[in-house]
Amino acid sequence: MTASTHSIQLLQRAAAAADSKQAEDLVALDVSGPLPLTDIFLIATGRNERNVVAIASEIEDQLIESGSKPLRREGRAEGRWILLDFGDLVVHVFHEEDRMYYSLERLWKDCPVVPIELPTQIEAPEAD
């Protein structure tokens, strides 16, 4: 089984939102095979607790704006590992230390990676 078109669209929007808040090391895994309740895990890293919260908030705002409703959110108060469950897409935003400790990529290493297409940033022309 592979991730649905809808879940890939959610992923792309969530990844763009995360990138806009300087999330690092974005990785998406197709977990539709072993997990019948979701299609994709998006894993992102924030530099500190404040950045983790900002990344998660932007992702949530963008996905709600696109018509998706969060089914569950956890970890916002601590800002170390925030989980956002949108059904087809589950987002994990980690503080760098927690991401290394929990190592979800290692746990789900048998799952295929889903390519993430981030919007290219338009460079401003140099002033003369």
The total number of structural domains in the chain stands at: 1
Q: What is the mean pLDDT of residues 2-16?
A: 93
Q: How far apart are CA 86 and CA 10, in angstroms?
A: 9
Residue 18 forms part of a structural domain:
yes
**Domain coverage including residue 33:** 5-107
Residue 112 forms part of a structural domain:
no
DSSP 33: T
Residue 125: which pLDDT band, with cuts at 50, 70 and 90?
low
Residue 34 forms part of a structural domain:
yes
Per residue in 95-111, pLDDT (tens digit) is: 999 999 999 999 999 99
**pLDDT confidence of residue 26:** 97
Per residue in 113-123, pLDDT (tens digit) is: 999 988 765 44
**pLDDT confidence of residue 2:** 85
List the Cα angle 120/122/128 in 5-degree steps. Answer: 155
Of the candidates 29, 89, 87, 81, the residue with the CA atom closest to the CA atom of residue 56: 81
Q: What is the mean pLDDT of residues 12-17?
A: 97
Q: What is the mean pLDDT of residues 67-75?
A: 94
Per residue in 24-69, pLDDT (tens digit) is: 999 999 999 998 899 999 999 999 999 999 999 999 999 999 999 9
Helix (H, G, I), strand (E, B) or coil at 109: coil
**pLDDT confidence of residue 122:** 45
Q: Round the average pLDDT of the chain to a whole number and report it.
A: 91
Q: How far apart are CA 96 and CA 75, in angstroms?
A: 15
- For residue 68, the domain's CATH number is 3.30.460.10
